[in-house]
Amino acid sequence: MTSENMADEYGRKWDRCLADTAVKTATGLGVGIVLSVLLFKRRMWPVSFGSGLGLGMGYSNCQHDFRSPYLIHGHTVKVNA
């Protein structure tokens, strides 16, 4: 079961990642479209900006998700002498 989880984890991660990226990209696109329509006089740049933003966020999330096992959280401990 665990191994399936591990192997599936990879797949699941990818699924999540892709889904998330898609969502984010779509959302960015949407926001971009909205902003471009609302604020930026139907220019292209907020759409691409927004989709890029979304893609980037998704990519970053994906990477973070994939990195998560390797992340080390350090704490500084003050030693009182």
Residues that bind another protein (CB under 8 A): 2-7, 10, 59, 62-63, 66-67, 69-70
Q: 70 vs 74, which CB is nearer to another protein?
A: 70
Least separation in angstroms between CB 59 and another protein? 6
Comparing CB distances to another protein, the nearer of 69 and 81 is 69
Residue 60 beta carbon to another protein: minimum distance, rounded to whole angstroms: 9
Query: 44 vs 63, which CB is nearer to another protein?
Result: 63
Q: What does the chain look like in DSSP terms, one character per residue? A: -HHHHHHHHHHHHHHHHHHHHHHHHHHHHHHHHHHHHHTSTT-SHHHHHHHHHHHHHHHHHHHHHHHGGG-------PPP-
Nearby residues of 16 by Cβ (< 8 Å), 6 or more positions away: 62, 65
What is the nearest approach in angstroms of another protein to the Cβ of residue 80? 33
